Amino acid sequence: MPDQRGTAGLFSPVFGRGGGAIGDAEWVQALLDAEAGLARALERAGLAPAGAGKQVTAAARAADFDVAEFGTGLTGNPVPGLARALARRVGREAAPAVHRGATSQDILDTAMMLLARRSIDAVTDDLALAAAAAARLAVAHRRTIMIGRTLLQQAVPVTFGLVAAGWLTALDEARAGLAAARRRLAVQFGGAAGTLASLGADGPGVAALLAQELDLALPVLPWHTDRLRILDAGTAMARTTAVLGKIARDITLLAQNEVGEVREGDPAGAGARPAPEGGIRRGGSSAMPHKRNPVAAIAVLGCTRQVPGLLATLVASAEHEHQRAAGAWHAEWEPFTALLRLTGSAAAWGTELLSGLVVDAPRMAANLAATEGLPLAEHVTALLSGEMGGARAHDLVARASARAVGAGLPLRDVLLGVAELADALAAAGITPEQVEAALEPAGYLGATDVFIDAALAAHSAHFQTQITD
């Protein structure tokens, strides 16, 4: 079979990275694995000759098949042609064990479950590495104070450790969602209309054996037109990309030249050496030699932006008529594959992004200092409220802030240097020392340490991970 893996395309280095490598070869192997599992189950049930399962399994190698021989355009799906091609390869005695009792949807849906499991496992592994990196950042930067930003505007001080702890918690919740979806992956085996009539009384037993052979859950009954398992897997992947997209977006914003608080590290093994003459440099621009673009973060976002539409297609396709759908089933295959591929690629990029992230603590401190005390206006207001009431305190600090911005002065200088404001503070019994203390960022971090500890403890407890700096 020609190399038709998910890694062999022009854009696959971006969208088919790591666990996202899903193409024709992976699909064909999953279909063959489902057929081979069925042959083994039939043999165990006494419905196929001894050794048939082993023969079918040995022949079920995707590399030996060419999708062109399946005649998918003639039958509307690849399974009939694949089953015929497999039967030709196993010989006369084992051939009756190929596809017996199954319908095309049984094999294809089961293959989708196998692909979903493969992807979930790969994504989960990458998320574990990404979460470990986020935990290390949370520990290392617990005391790294930076400006918090809400609605893209400067707000109050936070620490980069708290930012990383937020990423960590979200990654762990995404992993939990993937685990729940994985437990729901079930074998599909119902025959033509969900009755397994062609196998008679042996049908349920073969279904149970097939589930054992493929290590998938055994559903209560066939789920040909109940597509919740597809939606569960798709939703778990979409939740994962939402988390990865949020992290990547944060990093692109923090990496802007005007902000400069983080940057992507060199990819593993690249070192700090410039690209050789005529070579391609990581993050380079075709037009602007000075640029170093945040490639990993951008690639994550390139993957994650496509996922909501794919999930919407799966939801829209979940309405299946009667016992087997006319078209809705077919509409699932490509978006489901793309969703798995993009999530796997985003997770692989996200792992690299967090594992190599470079944090510029001095730049964070400089950006915070450049705000000249304005982000602490809320703290000053809280100090004054006890003496002059909330509304009056708010109005006084708002006037001081506006004057500070208009004159380009630190908030401290306005509060203590403008006679009207200084007199109001003195009348309320507020000393200059109290104002100075209220304008100290380290004194207005609230429950930051508590929240970081909680995130690290939950991560360690749920995933038995030892966190090191």
Q: Which residues are catalytic?
A: 285, 324
**End residue of a domain, out of 313, 343, 365:** 365
Query: Please, where are the H alpha helices in 16-59?
Result: 24-44, 52-59
Residue type for 254, please?
Answer: L
50 domain residue, yes or no:
no
For the domain that residue 398 is a member of, what is the CATH number? Answer: 1.10.40
Strand partners, 263: 358
Same domain, 344 and 306: yes
Residue 16 near residue 9, CB atoms below 8 Å: yes
End-to-end CA distance of the chain: 47
87 domain residue, yes or no:
no
Same domain, 260 and 305: yes
Residue indicated by tokens 């016992």 = 323
Residue from 103, 328, 119 nearest 227 by CA = 328
Same domain, 302 and 397: no
Same domain, 252 and 359: yes
Same domain, 164 and 244: yes
Residue range of the domain that includes 145: 106-199+221-269+283-365
Same domain, 425 and 317: no
Report the alpha-carbon distance of residue 287 to residue 278 in Å, rounded.
14
194 domain residue, yes or no:
yes
pTM recorded for the entire structure: 0.91
214 domain residue, yes or no:
no
Same domain, 265 and 129: yes
Same domain, 383 and 252: no
Same domain, 359 and 410: no
Digitized pLDDT (tens) for each residue of the chain, 469 residues in all: 444 444 468 999 999 998 889 999 999 999 999 999 999 999 999 999 999 999 999 999 999 999 999 999 999 999 999 999 999 999 899 999 999 999 999 999 999 999 999 999 999 999 999 999 999 999 999 999 999 999 999 999 999 999 999 999 999 999 999 999 999 999 999 999 999 999 999 999 999 999 999 999 999 999 999 999 999 999 999 999 999 999 999 999 999 999 999 999 876 544 444 444 455 555 544 444 444 789 999 999 999 999 999 999 999 999 999 999 999 999 999 999 999 999 999 999 999 999 999 999 999 999 999 999 999 999 999 999 988 889 989 999 999 999 999 999 999 999 999 998 898 889 888 899 999 999 999 999 999 999 999 999 999 998 766 565 5
Same domain, 264 and 390: no
Number of domains in the chain: 2
Same domain, 173 and 254: yes
Same domain, 297 and 392: no
